[in-house]
Amino acid sequence: MASKSRPSQRKPELMAPAGNWTCLRAALRAGADALYFGVSGFNMRANYRNFLPREMQRIAAECHGAGARAYLALNTIIYENELPKVGRILQTAKEAGIDAVICWDLAVVQKAAAIQLPVFLSTQMSVSNSESLALFYRTFGIRRFVLARECSLEQIQAMRRRLKKLLGAEADCIEIEVFGHGAMCVSVSGRCFLSQDRFGKSGNRGECIQPCRREYKITDVEDEISFRLGNNYLLSPEDLCTMPFLDQLLASGIASLKIEGRARTPEYVSTVTSAYRRAIDFYFENKGRRGFKAAFEALKTELTATLDTAYHRGLSSGFFMGKPVDQWTTGRGSRAKQSKRLVGEVVNYYRKAGAAEIQVRNAGFALGDELLIQGPTTGLVRLTVASIQIEHAARQCAERGEHVALSVPEQVRPRDRVFVVTQRES
């Protein structure tokens, strides 16, 4: 029996981002328990291609068919003239079988509650204490909360204990969701005005063009001397990575571990989701066994190195271990150990032979290289090149302009894009 002072451990949901169909299917293939996505008009990734409202039924069917849940992110502020459209989108989501809506504008909360569409309160609401949790639960019946990014692990545990005193047995109805990996914003729970102030593009409407990620300097107006602000990008935090202390996070009793990244690539979604899938499964399948602690530490080290190959601006513990100090990225763009170059596209796939015909239009590749094949139906397939053939003759490499045959055991499709993975120089 669990101690009254400690949250019971349960296997949390692993939630992955889906910015398009390729990412959605890549996440499902990687083992996500749930996906979150946005539709055009009302989500925090307005600058990127989003799904259309009419696609929600297909999204729900795809997720449910894979044993996963589908969540609609409708987490921007809503203006007066937009209320009718919001109502229509929520009704479409309900009819499509979407499992919940992630939001924080109280108009959206009320409209969703009125049609009995479950609400997950977004991190934009900055819920960071037990009394707020209890208030929203009692008033709106909200059971899932995406806590403020600024909450530490110690504070999460304290909230859980305090909820028992406020709600008694009903405290077990409340689920805590936290971000476990991905980009961090310099402002409180992402409520930033810098993009709006500088470019008229509001981050709170999903239009942020990320001026915080740039390098800045100060200028002495009398002598017109300019100075760079040290070696760091002082408005651009490193990305969050909880893998090194994942066991502590799992022990806190969270219900959902969420990966940030609806604007990132299919290989990012696949790599990060797969890494946390392996870690969570290993933890719950092996905890309590002899040698578990050493084995899990070794696995975390291995998987942290894997995460270092996916897009990131540096890896940080965020606020989980206390307020971060001087955890700024040291350069613009990704610091990942790997990148990709476009090779070409799939021309045909021969199911019986387990082979694909590839048209090499850009970068060539050779035996032993790692390829990524991506498409909206395929999702993402990774493979190491074991053989290359041209007109049934074996080759060591494929050059630009050639049509080559590769062994590809998983089905891919014509027009899927093919990339070769490259190592970045340190």
Note the Cα 67 to chain centre separation in Å.
Answer: 19
Indicate the pTM of the whole model.
Answer: 0.85
Question: Residue with structure tokens 């110690």?
Answer: 154
pLDDT of 169 over the 90 cut: yes
- Cβ-based neighbour number of residue 377 at 10 Å: 12
Distance in angstroms (rounded) separating the CA atoms of residues 17 and 411: 23
CATH class of 338-423: mainly beta
Distance in angstroms (rounded) separating the CA atoms of residues 225 and 365: 49
Note the Cα 235 to chain centre separation in Å.
Answer: 21
Name the CA dihedral angle for 38, 42, 45, 48, rounded to a multiple of 10 degrees.
Answer: 80
* φ/ψ of residue 359, rounded to 5: -95, 120
Mean pLDDT, to the nearest integer, of 185-189? 70
pLDDT tens column, 93-140:
999 999 999 999 999 999 999 999 999 999 989 999 999 999 999 999
Specify the domain boundaries for CATH 2.40.30.10 within the chain.
Answer: 338-423
Pick the closest to residue 95 from 53, 49, 125, 138 (CA basis): 53
Specify the domain boundaries for CATH 3.20.20.70 within the chain.
Answer: 13-186+236-316
pLDDT of residue 76: 86
Q: Is 206 in contact with 40 (CB distance < 8 Å)? A: no
Q: Is 96 in contact with 62 (CB distance < 8 Å)? A: no
Q: How confident is the model at residue 43 (pLDDT cuts 50, 70, 90)?
A: low
Computed from CA positions of residues 266, 270, 276, 280, in that sequence, does the dihedral angle turn out positive or negative?
Answer: positive
CATH class of 13-186+236-316: alpha beta
Q: If 0-12 CB within 10 Å is exposed, 13-18 middle and 19+ buried, where does residue 5 land?
A: exposed
Distance in angstroms (rounded) separating the CA atoms of residues 121 and 33: 19
pLDDT of residue 5: 42
pLDDT of residue 269: 97
Mean pLDDT, to the nearest integer, of 320-344? 77
pLDDT of residue 389: 94
pLDDT of residue 3: 38
Mean pLDDT, to the nearest integer, of 173-187? 88
pLDDT tens column, 342-387:
999 999 999 999 999 999 999 899 999 999 999 999 999 999 999 9
